[in-house]
Every structure is written in structure tokens, then in C-alpha cells.
């Protein structure tokens, strides 16, 4: 009986561990660049887009620490931060990642900093 109960406990532990907790990303879209709590500057880079490789689906961002190339995947969320225009932030696409635009990139793996989880693109002019 004890073995059965231990088995249940272990199995429930495994069942419950299926989901990986992470922040609900949806309100993230409305948080201006650099203001995401616990994330901005810790798990993100902020800088200007220096290069765009449309074929390779990547962008190179020039940040204070240097240039970093980051992969954009189908799962990467791209948002247009229009806060400075006092307009609603929108969902964007790869074509919105244009040279010279200021962006904040959050990485899927903050240690490796290779693949973008989300990108906020600042739209400063109408």
C-alpha cells in the first residue's frame, strides 16, 4: 500500500510538472520598451537594428555591449510599441524589423541569447 501511495505521489509530481510556468505574455505587448518588470535589461537587450537578414530570419542589434545577432522564429512575437505616439501598440511582423529602429529583444534562453522570444519595435513617427 505504501509503495502504491508513493507511486501515486511521484506520478502526480510528473503530471503536474508538464506545464512550464512563465509570465502571461499577452499584456506584455502594452508595456513600453525597457519597462517590463524583472525582465527588461535582465533578460532583454535594447538597441538599434543594425542589420536584417530576411533569408536567414535574423536581425543584428547594436546594443551598448556590442552587436548581437538574434534568430526570429515562427513563435517569436513582434509588437509595435507606439507609446510615444500615444497610440495603441499593435502586433507586428518580420517586415517591421527595419534597420535603424529601436528594439527590445527578450530571449528564449537569457543565458545563450540566440533566439528571440519577443521583440518590441519602437514606432516613433506616424
Give the span between the Cα atoms of 77 and 100, in whole angstroms. Answer: 20
Question: Which residues, including other chains, have CB under 8 Å from residue 3's CB and lie 6 or more apart?
Answer: none
Which range of residues in 17-25, 45-53, 56-64, 92-100 is near another protein by CB under 8 A?
Answer: 17-25
Residues 6+ apart with CB under 8 A from 113: 45, 68, 70, 107
22 contributes a contact to another protein by CB under 8 A: yes
- Asked if 16 interacts with another protein (CB under 8 A), we say yes
Residue 31 found at the interface with another protein (CB under 8 A):
yes
Residues 66-125 that bind another protein (CB under 8 A): 82-83, 86-89, 91
Compare residues 52 and 72 and give the one whose CB is closer to another protein.
72
Residue 13's CB is within 10 A of a number of other CB atoms, namely 9
Nearest residue (CB) to another protein, 46 versus 50: 46
Amino acid at each position: 500500500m505504501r509503495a502504491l501511495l508513493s507511486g501515486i505521489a511521484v506520478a502526480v509530481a510528473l503530471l503536474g510538472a508538464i506545464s512550464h510556468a512563465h509570465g502571461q505574455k499577452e499584456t506584455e505587448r502594452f508595456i513600453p520598451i525597457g519597462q517590463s518588470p524583472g525582465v527588461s535589461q535582465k533578460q532583454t537587450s535594447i538597441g538599434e537594428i543594425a542589420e536584417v537578414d530576411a533569408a536567414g530570419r535574423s536581425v543584428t542589434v547594436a546594443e551598448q555591449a556590442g552587436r548581437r545577432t538574434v534568430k526570429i522564429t515562427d513563435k517569436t512575437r513582434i509588437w509595435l510599441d507606439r507609446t510615444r505616439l500615444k497610440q495603441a501598440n499593435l502586433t507586428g511582423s518580420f517586415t517591421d524589423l527595419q534597420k535603424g529602429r529601436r528594439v527590445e529583444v527578450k530571449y528564449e534562453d537569457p543565458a545563450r541569447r540566440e533566439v528571440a522570444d519577443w521583440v518590441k519595435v519602437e514606432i516613433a513617427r506616424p
